[in-house]
Structure 1
Amino acid sequence: MAVPTVDELTASVVDAATLAFRKLFATGETFYYCVLITTGEALPPCIAAWSHESLARSDQPELDRWHYADSPFLDFGAEHFAPVRDLWLARPAIGDGNWNAEYELRLTALESAMRNLDSMGVFGSGESRRTLMINVEVVPPDHTNTERAIRLNPPESIAQWIAEAAEPRDGGTVA
């Protein structure tokens, strides 16, 4: 297999995430947080999400509101991401002397995929989109999560996240 390009990675994530997010939204819950999660090593992504209804069922809503790991929808639609994992693993291993370039390529593919999904209307439009925060989050969190959130969202959809969960940007400010 040839080494997949950033465009091929993006297209694969778009295909998988479209199916997974549409299945997620078919649950009938009202989502306010939908993200792709990857690690600091840029391993293959998975979905995490929170809805108002799932937060109401939480034993610790003040802690869970933005916490991907406690999401009842962590890795939702994983069955759709097998082709993504295959392409991801066909890329050069991070650590083969190209760590920064490979890491940035993978994060670019994920951010482009979320932007494409948004432009396709997967996350809604108008008021429904303004109430939904989308992102590509690296765990453990760092300032790049805030940078991506600002690029991917209208300000009103991330105002509460910025106030409660965003990591400070390089200059030490959050917004």
Structure 2
Amino acid sequence: MTDPNAVEACVLLRERPPAAVLMALHRVLGLGVSEVARRARSGEPLLRVELFGNDHAGSARRLRTVLDLVAPHRHEVHECVGGAAPGPESRTDAATLLAVLTAAAEPAAPVRPVPDPALARVIAAAARAAIADLRARHPEHFHAFALLTTGEALPPYLSAGSAEGMARTGADRWSLPDGPYAVWGHEEHFGEVVRAFETRGDLFALTEERARDIEFATRLASMEEALRLLDTEGFFGAGADRRGVLLLAGTLPPDPEDAGAVRRLNPAGPLRDSWLREAAEGPALPADGRARAELAAHRGGLSAAPNPSVAEVWRTTPGLYLPDGTAVYGPHSLAERNTTFEVAAYAPGWVLVGDDGGGRGLLMRAPGPDFDPAAGRESAQVLLLDLGALCPGVAEEGEFLTDDLVGWLAARAADVPDAQGRSG
């Protein structure tokens, strides 16, 4: 049912534009060139987009792009309420509509989590000592090690799980906060960590909300980096032994973003997948079995995943197209999109994994599909950059979008349940 209070912007094109404009509209709108031309002939809206909704910023960018393209040609702009069709009474002008959009507050940009190297080393040293002590005193097979903190980002503590320990307490294997090794070695090994956190001060003594968000992200990222440092030196084993251990860094109570850390810290496998299925708090990425079956019939021409994050998306759905225009490319189209925009030449080491439907690309580093703990955080970051401004300095010039592509897509797909599991 249409929301009777929803406000939509409708753009009508009253003449057939040149071929270059048709192609640009085709890319922005996700419509075929012939469909764009048909709508221009019939007076059917080229674009009908809700304003001031959950994706106001994305909708506004898309609308501005379309208005820029049609500006030299005969067109109409309408502001329609409650699903009404465009008519004389709803007509407005582009300048007025853009002024309203500009006045609307843009949502705060997501914080790019950056670990503090010194803090990460202090936490890693404490965790190494505590885990070694735990293993010496309890010669069990530990299937999980977690560094946990509170919503106030107080000093973290170590929690560990083993089949033997869980059997003694009757808890399931993911009840780490309540298990027999819930706060292990805190007094013996975590004194330096406590002092380091005290030096950083009380999180809520920061009066500016953005500053609090940055400090909170830094503390969580440093906890994650501490486990990554240990993993890089082989502390948790290799091969099958490593796949039998799950590393977690997160908060209590659990937060949906904890799943992102689990994906960044661990190779794909049954243990990680069971945690994501049984313990993760956030939504799951919708699977598209039909599209996967279609691609399985291809004998060649499919791209290899550029990094573990994209590989995980493709295991669930080979590309994703959302109604707001966001696309993540599948193995059938990724190479072609990167060739078209000459990404290897202009942004070496980066790969275009999707776009926002408004002329900006989603770029990630491309170390390959295999899990590498040393590259876990950097290879997971998604940056947004104008496709006409590709450059080697994507990390500096791009706008940080997320470091958990799967979780970011799952949340957006949950908001738009008619999302299609195919890239455009």
Q: TM-score, normalised by structure 1?
A: 0.89
Aligned equivalent of 1:48: 159
Aligned equivalent of 2:141: 30
- Root mean square deviation of aligned Cα: 1.8
Structure 2 residue runs of 5 or longer lacking an equivalent are 1-114, 283-406, 414-424
Q: How far apart are the structure 2 equivalents of 1:35 and 1:138?
A: 10
Give the ranges of 4+ consecutive aligned residues of structure 1 lying more than 6 Å apart after TM superposition.
Answer: none
Q: 1:80 offset after TM fit, Å?
A: 0.5
The one-letter code of the counterpart of 1:103 is F
Q: 1:92 offset after TM fit, Å?
A: 3.4
Q: How far apart are the structure 2 equivalents of 1:116 and 1:167?
A: 26
Higher relative contact order (CA 8 A, sep 6+): 1
Aligned equivalent of 1:84: 193
Q: 1:52 offset after TM fit, Å?
A: 1.2
The structure richer in strand per residue is 2
Q: 1:93 offset after TM fit, Å?
A: 2.2
Q: Is the 8 A contact 1:22 1:122 kept in 2?
A: no
- In the TM superposition, what whole-angstrom CA distance separates every residue of 1:65-106 from its partner, at most 9, and x where no partner exists? 212221100111111000100011100321212210110111
Q: TM-score, normalised by structure 2?
A: 0.38
Matched, 1:105 2:218: yes
Matched, 1:66 2:180: no
Q: Is the 8 A contact 2:145 2:248 kept in 1?
A: yes
Aligned equivalent of 1:18: 128
Which of 224, 230, 246 matches 1:117? 230
- In the TM superposition, what whole-angstrom CA distance separates every residue of 1:38-87 from its partner, at most 9, and x where no partner exists? 1111110000111011122222x3xx321222110011111100010001
Q: How far apart are the structure 2 equivalents of 1:6 and 1:20?
A: 21
Provide the aligned length of Structure 1 versus Structure 2.
167
Which of 233, 258, 261 matches 1:145? 258
The structure richer in helix per residue is 1
Q: Is the 8 A contact 2:169 2:179 kept in 1?
A: no
Say which one has the larger Rg.
2
What secondary structure is seen at the aligned counterpart in 1 of 2:144?
strand
What secondary structure is seen at the aligned counterpart in 1 of 2:180?
coil
Aligned equivalent of 2:202: 93
What secondary structure is seen at the aligned counterpart in 2 of 1:37?
strand
Which of 241, 244, 267 matches 1:128? 241
